[in-house]
Amino acid sequence: MFNLTTIIANIPALLVGFAFHEYAHAWVADRLGDPTPRSQGRLTLNPFVHLDIFGTLMAVLYSFGWAKPVMTQPHYFKGNKERGRVLVSVAGPLANLLVAFIAMMLWVLTLAFLEDSSWTGTLSTIFMSLVIMNLGLGVFNILPIPPLDGFSILRGVVPGRYSKVLDTLETYGMFILVIILFTNFLGVILQPAVSGLYAFYRDTALFLLSPFIG
């Protein structure tokens, strides 16, 4: 059963997560010499530029999803084109993981300094959503399933002799993704991964901030 409070808290977390995810893709592509993201207005942290309706709905309800893909033209990339593809693809999930860690650090500091303030519960809900949503987006998008970022990364590291296999997988990618979304497969993979990263981030934040929060 869906919790209305959690869904409401997920919305700003989702907007932040998608904005940084897509901006990271666009920024890396732009730095590599591709003018496409900039020309299409994607080099921005405005979340509404990046939203995909179905991916947004999935993210609000299930804490994982996707935004409108940033279009790139790898022939513009400086240096090795495949390396450029991988760098652009990995930038989005890494941005989400970084945002989640920063949110966890701020959450720990907030709890330490506000203690039992009347705002503590509300802020904790917001920070928890920011952490979990961004962890979910980061882990989900790194899965090697087309059209997710993980598949583009896979293409960049797998030897060329397997390209036909990857082409076939890409052809049926959306069909595979839809099946996976409506089974418990993602829960089996994502929940342990997100929970493990959440615990690691919490323990790391507490360790790093312990000298300052007493």
Residues designated catalytic: 22
Residue 170 in contact with residue 189, Cβ under 8 Å?
no
> Would you give per-residue pLDDT tens digits along the chain (214 residues)?
456 777 777 888 889 999 999 999 999 999 999 999 999 999 999 999 998 888 788 777 765 667 899 999 999 999 999 999 999 999 999 999 999 999 999 999 998 888 777 778 888 989 999 999 899 889 988 988 888 899 999 988 888 788 888 888 888 877 887 787 777 777 788 889 999 999 999 999 999 999 988 6
Q: How far apart are CA 11 and CA 81, in angstroms?
A: 36
Residues near 92 by beta carbon (within 8 Å), at least 6 away in sequence: 21, 22, 24, 25, 141, 149
Q: Count Cα atoms within 13 angstroms, Cβ side, for 185.
A: 11
How many separate domains does the chain show?
1
pLDDT of residue 46: 95
Residue 88 DSSP symbol: H
C-alpha gyration radius of the chain? 18
CA angle 68, 71, 77 (to 5 degrees): 145
Buried b / exposed e across 81-109, counting CB within 10 Å, b at 16+? eeebbbbbbbbbbbbbbebbbbbbbebbe
| DSSP for residue 124 | H
Phi and psi for 122 in degrees, rounded to 5?
Answer: -65, -45
CA-to-CA dists, residue 26 to 32, 100, 126, 206, angstroms: 10, 20, 27, 33
Structural domain including 157 reads 4-213
- What's at 159, amino acid-wise? P
Q: How far apart are CA 185 and CA 80, in angstroms?
A: 35
Query: The whole model's pTM is what?
Result: 0.90
